[in-house]
Amino acid sequence: MPEIRFKVQWPDGSQDLCYSPSLVVKQYFTPDQDYELTDFVERAQTALNIASDRVKAKFGWPCGLALGQLQEIETKSAQYRQLPDAKVRVIEFVE
């Protein structure tokens, strides 16, 4: 399975390099685009759950790295929920 990383910038300007075991994230995110915080989290949930399911279909178990990445995104996003108009920018894909 081709894995990919995607760099994001949070509303406070901090950046993270996120992991996916599948290129499916390219169907949900576009580089150099801002996403409303809730939309970003929902897209990440969908894409990373699909990616984990693909690993499960191939190897018989879900992808712990994808699910761990999703948990990190959900946890980090919680600190910005109180901000008005919080956005997350997908900077680039790193293949």
The 8-class DSSP code of residue 60 comes to S
User: In this structure, what token pair is assigned to residue 41?
Assistant: 């989290």
Residue-range definition of the domain harbouring residue 41: 4-94
Q: Is the pLDDT of residue 1 over 80?
A: no
Average pLDDT over residues 15-44: 98
Q: Is the pLDDT of residue 85 over 90?
A: yes
Q: Give how far the C-alpha of residue 91 lies from the chain's centroid of Cα atoms, to the nearest Å.
A: 12
Number of domains in the chain: 1
Task: Quote the pTM value.
Answer: 0.95
CA 65/CA 20 separation, integer angstroms? 8
